[in-house]
C-alpha cells in the first residue's frame, strides 16, 4: 500500500511539537493533512481570489524568497496586497515546519512561494506539464542533485471547493517498474545542456533519472489508470505537507491554493536512505554521478 494520509488536529500554525511517527510518515512519502489548519485571508486580500490575477503567460503566481511577485497582473493596490499575503503565508509555513521538524530547520533553503488561482480541471497543458497525471516533482531546467523538495499547501477556496488529489504507490515500487527503461546518463550531454543554458547548472545522474521517471509515468496511460492510488479531497480551509519529490501525486481538481517550497540536502533528514536519492542509489548499485551525498 501507498503511505498513509495522516490527519493531524489543531488550528494553530505555531507551537506544534515534533513527532517521530509523523516524521517517519513524511520521509516514507506520506502526506500530513491538517483539516482544520486554515490560512485566513484579510479583508484587503479577498479581491485577490480571481483567476484573472495570473498573467496568462505564467504558469503560477510566484514570489521568490527575496524579491517581488512574478506572474501577476493587477492594480498597484492589488499587487501590494498580493505581496503581503504571500509573505504572510511564507512566514506561517516556515514557523510550522521549524516547530515540527527541528532537525530540518538549520538546513532548509527557502524557495519561492506560489499562489495558484486557476481551476485545475479545465486547464489545458501538454502531457509532460499536466499535473493531473501521477508524477513526482523534478525540474528540467533546475537540477537539484538529490535535494529534497518539501512543500506546504493550503486550500484557500472561498466556495468550499476541495482540492482533489490522487496519491500513488510508494516511490520505490514505481522506480522498480520504470528504472530499467531509463536511458544511460551521459555527462557530455549534461555539459552541453549547461553550455546551451537549457539547464541552470550541470544535470546530475540523479536529475537525469528523476526526469525520465517523471516523464515515463506521465506518458504511460495504462499506469495512470491502473497503478495503485487513492483519491484524497483536501477541504477548503485545510493544509497539507509532503515531500513532493517522493510522494506520487496528481491534482484532479481545485482552485485557489497557496504553496511554499523548501529544498534540503537529504543527509539532514532523519532517514537519508529513505530519500529518492538513497533509494535510487541502492537500486542502481552505485553512487549517482554529481549527486549531493
Chain segment 81-135, per-residue pLDDT in tens: 999 999 999 999 999 999 999 999 999 999 999 999 999 887 777 888 889 999 9
Beta strands per DSSP E along the chain: 5-7, 31-34, 61-63, 109-116, 148-155, 163-168, 229-234, 239-243, 249-253, 257-264
Q: What is the pTM of this model?
A: 0.95
pLDDT at residue number 20:
94
CA distance 165 to 49: 21
Q: Which residue has the cell 481538481?
A: 253
What CATH class is the domain 5-284?
mainly beta
Model confidence pLDDT, tens digit, residues 245-282: 999 999 999 999 999 999 999 999 999 999 999 999 99
CA distance 34 to 19: 14
Residues paired with 31 in a beta bridge = 5
Decide the pairing of beta strands 61-63 and 163-168. unpaired
Q: Spell out the residues 6+ positions from residue 172 whose beta carbon is closer than 8 angstroms to its own.
A: 279, 283
Q: In the sheet where 31-34 sits, what is the strand order?
A: 5-7, 31-34, 239-243, 148-155, 257-264, 109-116, 61-63
Domain ranges of the chain: 5-284
Q: What confidence tier does 68 reach under pLDDT thresholds 50, 70, 90?
A: confident
Question: What Cα–Cα distance (Å) separates residue 44 from each residue in 49, 81, 122, 235?
Answer: 11, 7, 28, 23
Amino acid at each position: 500500500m501507498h503511505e498513509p494520509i495522516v490527519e493531524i488536529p489543531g488550528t494553530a500554525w505555531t507551537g506544534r511539537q515534533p513527532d517521530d511517527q509523523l516524521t517517519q510518515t513524511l520521509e516514507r512519502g506520506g502526506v500530513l493533512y491538517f483539516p482544520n489548519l486554515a490560512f485566513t485571508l484579510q479583508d484587503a486580500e479577498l479581491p485577490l481570489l480571481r483567476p484573472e490575477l495570473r498573467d496568462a503567460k505564467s504558469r503560477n503566481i510566484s514570489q521568490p524568497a527575496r524579491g517581488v511577485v512574478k506572474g501577476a497582473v493587477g492594480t498597484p493596490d492589488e499587487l501590494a496586497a498580493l505581496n503581503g499575503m504571500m509573505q504572510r503565508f511564507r512566514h506561517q509555513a516556515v514557523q510550522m515546519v521549524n516547530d515540527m521538524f527541528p532537525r530540518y530547520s538549520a538546513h532548509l533553503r527557502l524557495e519561492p512561494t506560489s499562489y495558484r488561482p486557476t481551476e485545475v480541471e479545465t486547464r489545458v497543458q501538454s502531457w509532460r506539464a499536466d499535473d493531473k497525471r501521477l508524477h513526482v516533482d523534478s525540474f528540467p531546467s533546475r537540477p537539484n542533485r538529490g535535494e529534497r523538495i518539501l512543500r506546504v499547501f493550503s486550500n484557500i477556496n472561498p466556495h468550499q471547493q476541495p482540492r482533489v488529489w490522487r496519491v500513488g504507490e510508494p516511490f520505490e515500487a514505481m522506480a522498480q517498474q520504470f528504472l530499467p527503461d531509463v536511458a544511460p546518463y551521459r555527462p557530455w550531454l549534461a555539459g552541453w545542456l549547461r553550455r546551451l543554458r537549457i539547464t541552470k547548472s550541470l544535470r546530475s545522474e540523479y536529475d537525469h533519472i528523476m526526469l525520465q521517471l517523471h516523464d515515463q509515468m506521465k506518458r504511460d496511460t495504462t499506469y495512470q489508470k491502473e497503478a495503485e492510488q487513492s483519491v484524497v479531497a483536501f477541504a477548503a480551509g485545510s493544509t497539507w505537507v509532503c515531500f513532493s519529490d517522493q510522494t506520487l501525486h496528481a491534482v484532479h481538481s481545485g482552485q485557489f491554493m497557496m504553496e511554499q517550497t523548501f529544498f534540503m540536502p537529504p543527509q539532514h533528514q532523519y532517514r537519508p536512505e529513505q530519500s529518492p536519492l538513497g533509494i535510487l542509489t541502492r537500486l542502481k548499485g552505485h553512487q549517482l554521478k554529481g549527486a549531493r551525498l
